[in-house]
Amino acid sequence: MTPLNSRRAFRGLSPVVAGLAALLLGTGVATAQTYGLATMQPGTLSYTSAAAIAKVLKEKGGFNVLVQPTAGETTLIPLVARGESDLGIANIFEVERARPTSPDLRLIGSVYPLRGAFWVRKDSTMKTIADLKGKKVVMGFSAMRTIDPLVRAILATGGLTEKDVNPVLVPNVVRGADDFTAGASDMFFFAFGAPKVREVDATVGGIRALEIPESGMPAAKKILPEGYLSPAAPNPFFVGVDHPMGVYAWDNLLFTNAKVPDDVIYKMIDTMEKNKADMVAILPAMRDFSADKLYKHFATPYHPGALKYFKDHKIEIKAIQ
């Protein structure tokens, strides 16, 4: 509000009220903007990530950030692209899929990698992806369209296609896990860290993550160029990993739209970088976050505010591993 408009707004107010209004305007309270952070439903890793980021941006950066849960990534990405929400969190496959129809979508960067696996029963003789030949494999994922190509990419690391297995069609990963538990499939796919994985592990008496060979990744990248291998070792997070191995990984992204001011995005990145420990306290997966890891070779363009931060801090763009 300009000084002229401020004086007009105060006319007719009592001296006390007018004085209070002037004080609030002077401190910026009355003009404080709320920034929406769109995410998936409560209980998901995405929602908890948003809560951790919003808390830090509000308490340490002075941004009034409101977490906005939605029905899913295909819903929230267009909201951000249209400017109906200022920020969003979604996986790289969903973001890249939306890019052609969302010209105003802009990246802030990779917050952390998501890691997933094909699990089989611990007492199974299967050890690698190639061992799934002729087995019942969950596919389709009619309610999660980006998961089916992900499954096909992982199959490709073992030299397999849909023709080499017996597809068990499921709408989503939860149904796939339930079918595995019921014996309707020989494997299931999920992300590490999800409560469902621990539930299945306890229910069937133990599960094993199938190993993905490095030599199979070129075939996988022909299907999904953004996927890569990430090192994993036996620990409580990596359920079913009984020796050091590479697991399939893909990035979880923080993004915005072209209308958000450059200085806002710049300060948000700076706030997150300086207060990483506060985010990790809420979500351990944020241990993988750093400003240095935000900047990768993705097809979706980066926000100018992010690019300025990278330039000022001499952060070079990195390959998608």
Q: What is the pLDDT of residue 135?
A: 98
Q: What is the pLDDT of residue 68?
A: 96
In this prediction, the residues of the chain whose per-residue pLDDT falls under 70 are 1-32
Question: Domain 115-250 is classified in which CATH homologous superfamily?
Answer: Periplasmic binding protein-like II (3.40.190.10)
Q: What is the pLDDT of residue 32?
A: 67
Q: Say if residues 226 and 298 touch (Cβ distance below 8 Å).
A: yes
Place of tokens 């990145």: 269
Q: Say if residues 239 and 201 touch (Cβ distance below 8 Å).
A: yes
3-state SS class at 10: helix
pLDDT digit string (tens) for 218-255? Answer: 999 999 989 999 999 999 889 999 999 999 999 999 99
CATH of region 29-114+252-312, choose from 2.40.240.20, 3.40.190.10, 2.40.70.10, 3.20.20.70: 3.40.190.10
CATH 3.40.190.10 positions along the chain are 29-114+252-312, 115-250
d(CA 115, CA 20): 52
The pTM (predicted TM-score) of the whole model is: 0.79
